Amino acid sequence: MKITLGCLYPDIMSTYGDRGNVATLQRRCEWRGIAVELRELRLGDRAEPDELDLIVIGSGGESQQRLIAGDLHEVKGPGIREAVRQGAAALAVGGGFELFGRFSRSGAGSELPGAGLFDAWTIGHRAILSDQYDSLTEARADRALGDLVVRWHDRLLVGFENHNGGTYLGPTAAPLGQVVSGVGNNGDGSEGVQLGNAVGTHLRGPCLPRNPALADFLISAALRRRHGDVDLPPLADDVELAAREVAMRRARMASRTRRGRVMLRRPARPGSPAGVQAGGRR
Amino acid sequence: MNSVASARRAFAVSMGKAVRDGSRRLGKGNGSAVPGAVAMVIDPGMLAGLASEIPQGAVLVTGSNGKGTTCRLLAGAMRAAGLHPILNREGSNQLSGLATTLVASSGRFGHLPADDRAIGLFEVDEGSFPGIVSQIGKPRALVFTNVFRDQLDRYLEPAYLTSMLERAMRELPADTTLVLNADDPRVAYLAPDMENPRLYFGIQDTGLAREGTDPSSDFPRCPRCGSELAYRCVFYAHLGHWSCHHCGLARPEPQVRLTKVDLLGSASSRVQAATPAAEILVEVPLPGLYNAYNAVAALAAATACQLPDRAFLAIERVTPSSLRMERIEVTGHSVFLTLAKNANGYTEVLRAVLGDGQPKRIMLGLNDCEGKQPDTSWIWDVDFESVSGLIPSPVITGNRAYDLTVRLKYAGWLGATKATTLTTEPDPVRAFQLALARTPSGEPLWLVSTSIVLQQIRRWLRQQGFVKEVWREQDQLLAGSVRL
């Protein structure tokens, strides 16, 4: 058995340990005797929908997003949308997730086009690269920054979020899950987007190593395209689960100290009620 | 200064001193930030005022990695040149830490002792640089080591950091020499329109270039036009000989450069350096390529301060800073405490220790900062793959020890084919005792970790009588130059 893994902009959208997601998918396939063909898709390369079983895009900040947005929208977007329509799996994380939506508008007013896969959009508070913050402290205070725990079906996903502004879902988008602790999409209690086998999330950086169930969901979905339903042999995930435990414990500690603090202060969605509160369901 | 302002200054300084003495007497650490913060509340102009009293002016050293060691190397050269550097303590590199340094160096009446050989040498946290540069009115030189992706939960993205630093640099007077790393495109092209004198440093010896590039490096785009940069050679991370094929911008030719670097095992390196005035051969008693960069940065700063050539040789006598391969003898083992706080730092430390290909005993640690900086994602950008198998029976520790264990598992360290027994013990002291017991007698043990783990072990070693308190050692160092 084999899957073809398309890794988008590995040279640009891999700002903070995003290699961990690719490594996790590769290893968990390798340990089960599944071959992985890795395709690195850079600026200018098209996404071939018939060939890609699994598409991964990592996180990136404002500068990286500016570099790829046009290419993602025009060159790769149609192929990505078609591949997911045909059942391919996808994982979009952090800044990559934001650009898998319709658009991302920065606080400075500029708008970046997205791949248009998800019926979602992101609106930033202020742009750090346009000198809209006077200090690092001020810029940090305006971000959703910390541990994020999300209920996904009957499981919990754990990780870390570090984003400015909010992501809003249109009528045809379904959230990936519900926030247990942290901010998530925009403070309304939802986190991420799931469309078929495509997953978008603010759990940025290496979110798969500590969430092996999500990794295996993506691998199963990718295999299903060519090999039908395959029972993945279970792996010994004891250290992964131990790391999850630590992350969840620390997220609980952090959420106690953060409770009540308003993380998102400006109404970002046109017409939305003012003063969106942080935290979601607790 | 009128008499009211001067009384206020004196009061601020003596309150700062009282807080500092009190916190030490109570055993609450070295009191590195609070005394300065207290003094600055009483007299917000204190730092700027005291800094302006330093007869020989000040040198600021900032950047992601290597600030502390560069300062230490430069301090040695300054002393050899007969100057009396006033240094801030390692880690006390934010505004209040710097204020504490000047409080400690001042007399009761709120003035620095009259010493026309005194020169300020301040390590400055890159995030605090804008706040500090406005206080240190006329620095003689600003040394910029490098800009790495570092603690994105603290410094956000490198492009933001450089734009913020650039904005702050514009407050510098026109005669401050900018001492910049030519091999780091982000640093080399900082504030290109400023007409200040620029002194570039870099490594010329292409024999040291890495085969291919580090998978974890983030290569910056061209700082002028945003195109992809081409590298003729890469020393580590994104440091190397770079150029832009699109707009023609290229690495500036460094005036202070290492023409030859021989890495001598895990202890030192021999470097041949050229400055505009001299060619010298020195042995840097600190291992790894990153310390060769620190040495050339210090040489460039010494050149900018017009120190005599003979002062350069003081580099040979430098001892490691606290937690920078700091050596402590523990029951017949040399234990090296080695701080690694970001992906490039961790990778380069491992390479410095394991570069000779000989297996070594190393304990690896990882912690987050108690909720303040919970993101440890960067471990996935550390090159653990290439040193797999070189560390027999590693012990993994820290409050994020299991995250690091997962990382090592996916790097192939736990593979069924490798007879490596890896132990995860989150408690640093227990882990250290275990690692020490596993180390064959007489062999050294390296502790490579983020800071909290190392501090906990160091505190334990101090309680056990293996090591003196950091501030005592540093005060002794300071006492040699400035009377307290």
Query: Cβ of B399 and A246 within 8 Å?
Result: yes
Residue A71 tokens read as: 């290419």
Q: Residue B300 has what pLDDT?
A: 97
User: Closest to B406 (Cβ–Cβ): which among A140, A210, A257?
Assistant: A210
Q: What pLDDT score was predicted for residue A261?
A: 45
pLDDT at B372 (0 to 100): 61
**A136, A163, A259: best mutation site toward chain B, by most B Cβ within 10 Å?**
A136
Domains of chain B, CATH where assigned: 58-87+116-123+134-320 (3.40.1190.10), 324-463 (3.90.190.20)
Between CA A276 and CA A116 the distance in angstroms is: 25
- Interface confidence, given as ipTM, is 0.89
For every one of its 282 residues, what pLDDT tens digit does chain A have, with 9 covering 90 and above?
Answer: 999 999 999 988 887 889 999 999 999 999 999 999 999 999 999 999 999 999 999 998 888 898 999 999 999 999 999 999 999 999 999 999 999 999 998 777 789 999 999 999 999 876 655 566 667 677 777 777 788 999 999 999 999 898 888 999 999 999 999 999 999 999 999 999 999 999 999 998 899 999 999 999 999 999 999 999 999 999 999 999 999 999 888 888 776 665 444 444 443 444 333 333 333 332
Put simply, the answer to whether A136 touches B127 (Cβ < 8 Å) is: yes
Nearest CA distance, B124 vs chain A (angstrom) = 15
Contact B342, B378 (CB under 8 A): yes
Dihedral sign, Cα of residue A112, residue A118, residue A122, residue A128: negative
Q: Name the strands in the sheet holding B333-339, side by side, starting at the edge strand that comes first in the sequence.
A: B324-330, B333-339, B445-449, B361-365, B395-397, B423-424
DSSP class of residue B250 equals B
Query: A129: which residues sit within 8 A by CB, 6+ positions away?
Result: A62, A63, A108, B159, B160, B163
**A144-166 pLDDT per residue, tens:** 778 899 999 999 999 989 888 89
Cβ <8 Å between A136 and B371: no
Q: Which domains does chain A have, with CATH numbers?
A: 2-258 (3.40.50.880)
Sheet holding B84-87, edge to edge: B84-87, B118-123, B58-62, B141-144, B177-181, B198-203, B256-264, B268-274, B279-284
Residues of A with CB under 8 A from a CB of B: 11, 14-20, 23-24, 27, 61-64, 67, 128-129, 131, 135-136, 139-140, 143, 145-147, 160, 162, 204-206, 209-210, 239-240, 242-243, 245-247, 250, 253-254, 257
Question: B268 is written with which tokens?
Answer: 């030192």
State the Cα–Cα distance between residues B421 and B126, nearest whole angstrom. Answer: 40
Terminal-residue alpha carbon distance, chain B? 23
Closest CA to B216 of A20, A28, A29: A20
Instruction: Tell me what pLDDT residue B479 has.
Output: 41
Residue-wise burial string across A210-249, b where 16 or more C-beta atoms lie within 10 A, e elsewhere: bbbbbbbbbbbbbbbbeeeeeeeeeeebebbebbbebbbe
Q: Decide if B403 and A210 are in contact by the 8 Å CB cutoff.
A: yes
Which residues on B lie below 8 Å from A204 (Cβ)? 377
- The answer to whether A146 contacts B371, with C-beta atoms less than 8 Å apart, is yes
Query: Do residues B68 and B60 lie in contact, with contact meaning Cβ atoms separated by under 8 Å?
Result: no
**Other Cβ atoms closer than 10 A to B14:** 18
